[in-house]
Structure 1
Amino acid sequence: MSERSLLDPPPPALKARFKEGFGQRALLTIDTEEEFDWSKPLAPTGHKVDHLLRIGKFQEFCEGIGVIPVYLVDWPVVSSGQAKDIFPPLVASGRAEIGVQLHPWVNPPQREAVTAHNSFAGNLPPDLEQEKFDNLVDAIEQNLGVSPLIYRAGRYGVGSQTASILKQRGIAIDTSVRPHHDYSEEGGPDFSRHPDYPYWTDEQRSLLEIPLTTCYWGMLRKQGATLQPLVQKFPGLGGALARTGMLERIPLTPEGTTKEEAIRCIDIALDDGLELLVLSLHSPSLVPGHTPYVRNEDDLDALYDWLRAVYGYFDLRGVKPTSVGEIMHQVEV
């Protein structure tokens, strides 16, 4: 039987089902990565991870709202002294989980040119993608004492062989798919036709995909997948559709999404019967000045306020926080 690619939307028969009583849950994922200037070309060296010192405060906040965050760590993070001090105690006590995030431009071996095209790991020769991935997983196991079960490609850059590479190392869950987004103009994947719900990537049910939650909202939301290419082609169209309440694409993240937008997305997702919502943010946003979303302390306060409001709304709607371990225990194989 041929290997299915993460680039291809799944057939409906591969939709994942959860055991009775799972209900509707939410998973918080953190792209835990180096600090870099998002407005400049990517560079393979010279990156810092000083913001990891704020992980303690963020972790306390998560524990206060009953959330087990999943830190998806990349090479500069896992090879730092800070990571070795911060993450093992959190994992050992069950307060956090660790996953994998591959940023190929900072991950050894660095045999490729650092370009936008090559920043999507799935565009690399499969043997190089695998070698980088194996080096990263080896470092996580050695430095953090964890055998990770979940993966996200940096820039969501999966390729035709990524699923096979993940399964060879025992990765059980991929969370690289960002539905309703198309990165093909940059050389990346097109997820515009991928579903929001969790699904198996293969008939053997050996790799589970849990997409990042993105909703279409508005009168034309059922036509969102058809209209999105036009929105990308004509930048002013998206703003006009959103202002008139016709169509808005809402990713479930505090980075660029307001509390009000997030709650609209949650309502749509839950009313559509989505069992697992996946939230995301970037760890450098925990310190002002590292991402476009958090430029000052007011922005940082707003990020925490967003999380507080969203998880408060989850509580009202009966949505419980979940973890990678629980997902693997509750999904029906």
Structure 2
Amino acid sequence: MTARSVPAPPAGGRGARGAGRARAWAELLRLPALFTVPGDTLSGAAATGTRPNSRTLYAIGSSVCLYEAGMVLNDWADREEDAAERPERPLPSGRVRPGSALAAACALTGAGLVLAARAGRPALTVAAPLAATVWAYDLALKHTPAGPVAMAAARGLDLLLGAAATTGRTREALPSAALLGTHTLAVTLVSRRETTGGTSVPPLVALATTALLTSLVTRRRLPPADRADSAGPPLPTRTPPARTPAAADPAGPGSRPVPVPRPGSTAPARFTADTALRAALATAYAVTAARPYTHAALNPSPPLTRRAVGGGIRATIPLQAALSARAGAGVTAAVIAALAPIGRKYARKVSVT
């Protein structure tokens, strides 16, 4: 018998095809943008003044699934438009089938709702409208004037999901959700021109929004017990005793009275480690977002506009961290901030837009 040689696998065989499919799905899911998601939930928990717990982890899983469902559904809904404007995307290039993308979006949505239910009924109460907002945006609202508002609402609800899962309540997290939603609104306005460019107005609006948010997040948010409108009995007051001339001027004529702080007055802010952390994170947010916005405002070409959108998405992480630091959760802020370099590393391989 003559032994027959086994032919070597052809170049670009099964292994290469598998790697190609994995990269196509990574592009479809926009994996680097995934690192902007856990900070929503964590900053929502921080806004309530409570440490993250096991329910927070379920909320993070839910948030990740719903976010990625939106990413896949976005490309599925835009597959014909992308065929003309961005033929290299996974669906128009044929690397991912439309039916597979739609099935993945449905499966991810279902998984997100199941994980939210595991976090508790309050979390599911927020996750359900979040999922509905994601689908409404991708299928109906994206190209309407309501599109940016819907996207902003989705980010705000994502932050509230963390608060609801961690504590069962969302009221304390509403201001943080409004700030994060405002940032998302600005980024979405810019993204509507990422394939056509042509106007400096959206980047200029985003620049002004970034400046406003930077100013707001550097101010420390008082915990509920320190706020004037917090619940609780009023502080006791006492009537000062009548003073004799000697008591009124114990040091004699010409002496200055010692100022006595009134109840509820605020002492001058001291520069502390907490203040430094908020300032550093706010600066990181401003720098990350403002530079590409400025370039797009000066030259609103499609490549620079897409770069501005990417910068706005990456700036979400330092903003989330700054919101957590503003709520007094320095450790949570540091954990969120640590996600930024990881996302930046993978963004060099897979586009976030």
TM-score by length of 2: 0.24
* Higher strand proportion: 1
For normalisation by structure 1, the TM-score amounts to: 0.25
